[in-house]
Amino acid sequence: MKRKPSRYLLGSLLVGALVLSACGSDDDTDGGGSDSASSPADTTEPATASDETGDGGTITVYTGRHYGIEPVFEQFTADTGIEVRFTTGNDPELRERLITEGANTPADVIMTADAANIELSADAGVLASVDSDILTETIPEDLRSDANDWFSLSQRARVIIASTERAENPPTTYADVGAPEWQGKLCLRPSTHPYTQSLVASLILAEGQERATEIVQSWVDNDPLYIDSDTDIYTAVADGECDVAIANTYYLGRLLTENPDFPVEIVWPEQDGRGAHVNVSTAAVTANAPNPQGALALIEWLATDGQQQFADANFEYPADLNVQPNEIVAGFGEFTADLDAVRQLGANQPTAVEVLSATSYQ
Ligand SMILES: [Fe+2]
């Protein structure tokens, strides 16, 4: 895909302290554990082979999105000559690090696994607005900020999942998950996880706070089994610990790769209305990027030449709607996504935390 020159509008730094209510990053590591409580790596690792010195300079990336990121960065270096160093952590920790480092930060790019968390970074003044025709033409308006200071690179749908063996008529709306027939048969992610908070934020946007509270209360009244790993949630449904659950689709992509007969199916929610809740993986140029040109080159590459590889690395849906998801993901079927909500998830996160607390959601 052809690149056009870009102009930078570097934002001023408005450093503010943020109270963090939750962690936010990719949750299940490749090793099957949870990294939701992990700390940023102490070292910044070169993502490229040592013999690729690169003639396009070096950029440093702080990334809360971990899945399959290294081969993607290696391909970027091969294509552009720009070397990538990266540090992994969870989204709030990396944001705090950016704020603390201020003008001395080595980070050129921050990547998150959650829309609300990148909005909080924008609010903290650590992101730069960029003027990029490539990004505004490639990424739909619903999937980038008004200020063009962050851009989605992939969509992550959070849906209803059901046992193919025990759930004959699984719920088709998030509200139906609270129906009495799922009493004692429901698995949910805990309230502290950003995936849960962003889902509830989307409910508040669609239904209003009062109705959203009723819906979440009905889930809680079903005595859910709380499991802080989507992979473990899928396994719990397969093993009979619950019949239905709410989880991200990409975990099923991974599980089906290992076992094509994995006995869990996706039920696309809200298909007669707003569509399934989607969260996003995002990227932004930092406000104090030492190499803002290199930073923008990476994000533009991830949105174009690297878009397929980035999305496929984790069975996610491309942010560029003209790029098709991979074969396994396409097998989940066509669906309507609630894209309208994506840019408002961050603003509604505090209310989502209130709703979760008011309903005694664990
Ligand atoms: Fe995840």
What is the SS3 assignment for 150-182?
Answer: CEEEEEEEEEEEEECCCCCCCCCCCHHHHCHHH
CB atoms within 10 A of CB 333: 9
226: CA distance to ligand 1 center in Å? 16
97: CA distance to ligand 1 center in Å? 22
Give Cα 164 to chain centroid, integer Å: 27
Q: For position 56, what pLDDT does the model report?
A: 77
56: CA distance to ligand 1 center in Å? 32
247: CA distance to ligand 1 center in Å? 9
156: CA distance to ligand 1 center in Å? 8
Cβ contact 231:251 at 8 Å: yes
Q: For position 141, what pLDDT does the model report?
A: 97
**Angle of CA points 137, 142, 147, to nearest 5°:** 75
Q: For position 26, what pLDDT does the model report?
A: 59
Low-confidence residues of the chain, pLDDT below 70?
Answer: 1-55
Contacts of 125 (CB under 8 A, 6+ apart): 11, 12, 13, 14, 15, 16, 287
234: CA distance to ligand 1 center in Å? 12
26: CA distance to ligand 1 center in Å? 4
Q: Which of 155, 156, 148, 157 is nearest to 300 (CA)?
A: 148
pTM of the complete model = 0.85
Q: For position 29, what pLDDT does the model report?
A: 40
Q: For position 92, what pLDDT does the model report?
A: 87
CB atoms within 10 A of CB 181: 13
330: CA distance to ligand 1 center in Å? 19
**DSSP-based helix, strand, coil % in the chain, nearest 5:** 40, 20, 40
